[in-house]
Structure 1
Amino acid sequence: MTPKKNPPSNVEEISLAGTIPELTNNLTKQQYSFKPDSIRNLEQIMLECVHSCEIVSQNPAVRALVNSSKTFDLVIVEVFGSECFLPFGKRFKAPVVGLLSSVLLPWVNEQLGNPEGTAYIPAYMMGYGQRMNVWERLINTAAVVWAKMMYRNKSQIPSQVIADRLFGPGPKLEALAQNYSLVLSNSHFSINEVRPLVPALVEVGGLHLDNTQTMSKELKRLLGNAHEGIIYWSFGSMSRIETIPSEKLAQIFTAISELSQTVLVRLNRKMLAKVTNVTVPDNVYTMDWIPQYKTLCHPNVKLFISHGGLLGTQEAVACGVPTLMVPLYADQALNGRAMSDRGVARVISLRDSTTDDWREAFHDLLANNRYKENALRLKNIFLDRLSPPLETGVYWIEYVLRHKGASHLRSPALDLSYAQYLLIDVIALSIAATSLTIFILHILFRYLCTRCIRWWPKEVILEKRLFRRNISPFHCFLWIYKVKMN
């Protein structure tokens, strides 16, 4: 992040500009692997986060901060693919607040004692809805277990090495992670899954929505003069449209060229010319940078073509715009499924789609009024809150400060073992008690039948009856307990 030109007087920044390579997805690269996309993406996220930790931990200014005599009342860290900077809380004897830019990750649930609910809550990397069949629930549960194991091996262990080198030997990261005072999650039940939340986890989805964005005169003129409407296409800052394989991009442009609407695309034409010779249709207008939230909220924007990133999804929902989602990475398939289930989006595969698929999706989204109606309904639900997301986040951070860490928000589940949390000990005790009761009753009945009761038929008569077709349960009872005959 580039340092602010005129930061507030009480802000001191350590610039990391240029230290970490820009993370961008080259869509031309085709991934061929026996590993499912969900596992490969998760591994890549963890490796990138640990690599970033390694680089930042070697920054002289960061090292100087660790060894300084400064004091802080609160430490805010990112919660995602690594915990290497969690010891800052211990170092400064300050409570720690986490910022999570996505929906809850499996390991974060465990760190907060938050219920997993794999029967109806889809895992981060799985593109399932909240109504799963038995096969999907099985895969979903396995995916959560696998993600936690992978996080332990691919992130926590190497991050521990980095943390010990920077801060010196100290508490394990997994122990520190169970002492977050608060985690602010960039999610919201209206567009993500409905799920139980512990008090230390607060949803602030839409935290980034910026009403102060401004438009250039060129963009204002384009949007204002688009009498047939505007279709806005952006894959965010990480995934470059210019790097889509030539064949696939040509298919998309063919479908776009048949539309009457102007298609505004965040695309660098010079870069496109270097990597492909695809012709851009006449109804496509390209810009290197576009203020996305301001653009989406313009009344002439009819459709948003998105990769399904959570921030762009929230912006589209806040503006009431239907979306054509093309999931590429991370939680984008999950977001696409959530929006599709709510009737505000269509999902299409970049790899497997054809021109006809794009043509049909465009026609359905633009001609069917139900998408716009659902989008406006979802917008009202998403924005209907006691306070805006930013104010909510600030309130809870100040709450932690007022209550000196707010340890009362911590879930008691974190102090239980797996056996206690999953009630395995209770189940085992119940089985033992039930088995003992049945055994005692068995001995008692046997004793009563063989010592006390004298009026049954003789054994020979009983055995003859047992081998007849009209055997009664009573006869079986007598046979099992070997009743003593007269």
Structure 2
Amino acid sequence: MLLHHIYGIFAFLGAYLISFPPSCNGGNILVYPLDGSHWVNMKILLEDLHARGHSITVIRSSTSLYITEKSPLYTSITVQMDGDTDNFFDEYLKENIRAQREGASPLTFFKLTKDFLSMISQAHSLSCDILLQVFNDENMIKSLMDSQFDLVITDPALGLGVILAKYLKLPVVLNVRWITSGEGHFAIAPSPLSYIPAPGSGLTDKMNFMERVKNLFFHSVVMLQQKFMVGPNYDAICDKYIKGGCDIMSLLQEADIWLFRSDFVFDFPRPTMPNIVYIGGFQCKPAQPLPADLEEFVQSAGEHGVIIMTLGTLVNALPKEISDEIASVFAKMPQKVIWRHKGEQPSTLGNNTLIVDWMPQKDLLGHPQTKVFVAHGGTNGVQEAIYHGVPVLGIPLFFDQYDNLLRLQDRGAGKIIPLGDVNGHSFEQGLMEVLHRDSYRQNMQRLSRLHRDQPMSPMDRAIFWVEYVMRHKGAPHLRTEAYKMPWYSYYCLDVMLVLLTAVTLLLLSALAVCKFLCCRGRRKTKAKQH
């Protein structure tokens, strides 16, 4: 009887343990991140990996704004970098606003496009300088090789991590939405331009003929940017340091797992691939209590609630004249306002507005007093707004921000004010609409319910697949081999050409036979007549 009880206990424990996925404790992970808001969500992933017992090493530049050299989460490797990039995006933003306000002429459009592409190319060139320093430092390379890492996690908005992983012969996990140029899906998954909007096009998945023409044009611009402005920076490094050579696009397509920072509550439905794991909103968590002084300010708003505003990590502030107009609108509102704003304070600031250098954005979005989120449309902020069900008034600045906000606007959960149209009147009108039209909050809360209704949290999915790659030394069985095919083979143009040639030859042969028989028949008829 006792043996039966003991057997029953072991059977129960066995079933209990089997119900959990196998862990991969003690993995050794090399991380090549991107700074700014990209680091914010990468750090959240690293916190959970660290809590699981993994050892983490992060490569950072000496000019990094957010990636600290010392951290309890990771050991850092710092690469010296020259140059001041603090005002890099502020200057471009001012020029962007000025150009847009001059009018939406073709000349203005091409100037903005040229400036934007030039800025992107410069950013990639600077990042390649960092990687060159890594490769040229023999001690650093030897240390990286001797560390016996299990895999590399990298953000492919810059191509440094995938090149280093190829050099070290390590599996790759991408923490991704954007690649070196454009949206990540376009590099790995079938992307019909008839219903999948290209980055920057400002289109949805419902396009008429002229919109499809526009979509093709914007996709072509992205392809040309990758081919002639971005790719050569990385291809030169590949040719020099990777045996047999390579190109940056094929390295991205070789990645084992794509942890994709999106989901189909937010994004438009589209074809995907088995090694794309959707983790949209993985950084979102239930709101924590606010600091006492901030909680007191929020509660002082009473029934009117609070408006929060931030323009993200890349831009400190809008130009002064625009900030003054926004501040004057806020001053007239019965709501309290918390505004993340750096630099000179607006001269029209009201008593109801609290200016801060930093705000606990997630906790404020999750506070029941928060009524509207005025934001630039970064992926993190948009997904946090969806998670907490707060409608968005968007002022997109650059990159993917307009496209992100367009997805909310298309679903009735947000409203966009184009950067060139921002003034006191348009801002007040947009803010009043999002505040007082119930459909915005109702639609956003519906998206929130859809996003939360999942069998497994996005973070748990991310951790599982990182450890999966470590357990199996990669995941090549999930990766398509299409990237090894030339473009004409991918689209079966060579097959069609051979078939068309065969059909043409068959038809020509049939015509030749018919002509021969006809001529022969005529000759016989003439012979009989004679």
Q: TM-score, normalization: structure 2? A: 0.75
Residue 262 of structure 2: aligned partner: 187
Q: 2:344 aligns with which of 248, 266, 272?
A: 272
Deviation at 1:116, TM superposition (A): 2.0
Q: 2:94 aligns with which of 29, 34, 37?
A: 29
* Counterpart residue identity of residue 306, structure 2: I
Residue 224 of structure 1: aligned partner: 299
Residue 72 of structure 2: aligned partner: 7
Matched, 1:73 2:150: yes
Question: For the residues of structure 1 that align with 2:339 and 2:80, how far apart are their CA atoms?
Answer: 28
Residue 528 of structure 2: aligned partner: none
Deviation at 1:40, TM superposition (A): 3.8
Question: For the residues of structure 2 that align with 1:103 and 1:161, how far apart are their CA atoms?
Answer: 18
Q: Is the 1:103–1:187 contact (alpha carbons within 8 Å) kept by the matching residues of 2?
A: no
Residue 132 of structure 1: aligned partner: 207
Comparing 300-309 and 350-359, the one that deviates more? 350-359
Q: How does 1:133-282 map to 2 (within 5 A)?
A: 133-162=208-237, 167=241, 171-174=245-248, 175-211=250-286, 215-227=290-302, 228-241=304-317, 243-246=318-321, 248-268=322-342, 271-273=343-345, 278-282=347-351
Question: For the residues of structure 2 that align with 1:287 and 1:118, how far apart are their CA atoms?
Answer: 43
Matched, 1:92 2:168: yes
Q: Is the 1:107–1:151 contact (alpha carbons within 8 Å) kept by the matching residues of 2?
A: no
Deviation at 1:185, TM superposition (A): 1.6
Q: How does 1:418-437 map to 2 (within 5 A)?
A: 418-436=487-505
Larger % of helix: which?
Answer: 2
Q: Is the 1:213–1:291 contact (alpha carbons within 8 Å) kept by the matching residues of 2?
A: no
Residue 362 of structure 1: aligned partner: 431
Question: For the residues of structure 1 that align with 2:473 and 2:128, how far apart are their CA atoms?
Answer: 28
* Counterpart residue identity of residue 131, structure 1: K
Question: For the residues of structure 2 that align with 1:229 and 1:334, how far apart are their CA atoms?
Answer: 29
Matched, 1:415 2:484: yes
Identity of aligned residues (%): 27
* Counterpart residue identity of residue 331, structure 2: S
Residue 306 of structure 1: aligned partner: 375
Deviation at 1:79, TM superposition (A): 0.6
* Counterpart residue identity of residue 488, structure 2: A
Q: Is the 2:371–2:435 contact (alpha carbons within 8 Å) kept by the matching residues of 1?
A: yes
* Structure 1 residues 432-484: Cα deviation after superposition (integer angstroms, max 9, x where no partner): 3554555566567767888889xxxxxxxxxxxxxxxxxxxxxxxxxxxxxxx
Q: Do the aligned partners of residues 16 and 299 (structure 1) sit closer, same or farther apart at CA in structure 2, a change above 3 Å counting?
A: farther
Question: For the residues of structure 2 that align with 1:345 and 1:139, how far apart are their CA atoms?
Answer: 24
Deviation at 1:127, TM superposition (A): 1.6
Q: Is the 2:171–2:256 contact (alpha carbons within 8 Å) kept by the matching residues of 1?
A: yes
Q: 1:371 aligns with which of 440, 445, 456?
A: 440
Deviation at 1:314, TM superposition (A): 0.6
* Counterpart residue identity of residue 273, structure 2: V
* Counterpart residue identity of residue 76, structure 1: I
Q: Is the 2:177–2:183 contact (alpha carbons within 8 Å) kept by the matching residues of 1?
A: no
Q: Is the 1:305–1:323 contact (alpha carbons within 8 Å) kept by the matching residues of 2?
A: yes
What's the secondary structure of 1:290's corresponding residue? coil
Residue 341 of structure 1: aligned partner: 410
Deviation at 1:337, TM superposition (A): 1.1
Q: Do the aligned partners of residues 48 and 391 (structure 1) sit closer, same or farther apart at CA in structure 2, a change above 3 Å counting?
A: same
Q: Is the 2:180–2:230 contact (alpha carbons within 8 Å) kept by the matching residues of 1?
A: no
What's the secondary structure of 2:173's corresponding residue? strand
Question: For the residues of structure 2 that align with 1:148 and 1:208, how far apart are their CA atoms?
Answer: 31
Q: Do the aligned partners of residues 263 and 62 (structure 1) sit closer, same or farther apart at CA in structure 2, a change above 3 Å counting?
A: farther
Q: Do the aligned partners of residues 235 and 14 (structure 1) sit closer, same or farther apart at CA in structure 2, a change above 3 Å counting?
A: same
RMSD (Å) for aligned C-alpha atoms: 3.1
* Counterpart residue identity of residue 90, structure 2: N
Q: 1:64 aligns with which of 139, 146, 152?
A: 139
Question: For the residues of structure 1 that align with 2:287 and 2:183, how far apart are their CA atoms?
Answer: 35
Residue 384 of structure 1: aligned partner: 453
Q: Is the 1:56–1:62 contact (alpha carbons within 8 Å) kept by the matching residues of 2?
A: no
* Counterpart residue identity of residue 399, structure 1: Y
Q: Is the 2:329–2:424 contact (alpha carbons within 8 Å) kept by the matching residues of 1?
A: yes
Q: Is the 1:209–1:293 contact (alpha carbons within 8 Å) kept by the matching residues of 2?
A: yes
Q: Is the 2:308–2:372 contact (alpha carbons within 8 Å) kept by the matching residues of 1?
A: yes
Q: Do the aligned partners of residues 171 and 422 (structure 1) sit closer, same or farther apart at CA in structure 2, a change above 3 Å counting?
A: same
Question: For the residues of structure 2 that align with 1:49 and 1:147, how far apart are their CA atoms?
Answer: 15
Comparing 388-397 and 311-320, the one that deviates more? 388-397
Question: For the residues of structure 2 that align with 1:324 and 1:405, how far apart are their CA atoms?
Answer: 42
* Structure 1 residues 344-402: Cα deviation after superposition (integer angstroms, max 9, x where no partner): 01110232234322222122111111111100101111222222221111111122222
Question: For the residues of structure 1 that align with 2:445 and 2:208, how far apart are their CA atoms?
Answer: 30
Q: Is the 1:206–1:389 contact (alpha carbons within 8 Å) kept by the matching residues of 2?
A: yes
Structure possessing the higher radius of gyration over alpha carbons = 1
Deviation at 1:133, TM superposition (A): 1.9
Q: Is the 1:42–1:125 contact (alpha carbons within 8 Å) kept by the matching residues of 2?
A: no
Q: Is the 1:38–1:330 contact (alpha carbons within 8 Å) kept by the matching residues of 2?
A: no
Question: For the residues of structure 1 that align with 2:392 and 2:497, how far apart are their CA atoms?
Answer: 50
What's the secondary structure of 2:110's corresponding residue? coil
Residue 327 of structure 1: aligned partner: 396
Q: Is the 1:342–1:374 contact (alpha carbons within 8 Å) kept by the matching residues of 2?
A: yes
Q: Do the aligned partners of residues 210 and 229 (structure 1) sit closer, same or farther apart at CA in structure 2, a change above 3 Å counting?
A: same
Question: For the residues of structure 1 that align with 2:495 and 2:70, how far apart are their CA atoms?
Answer: 60
Question: For the residues of structure 1 that align with 2:388 and 2:80, how far apart are their CA atoms?
Answer: 32
Q: Do the aligned partners of residues 168 and 58 (structure 1) sit closer, same or farther apart at CA in structure 2, a change above 3 Å counting?
A: same
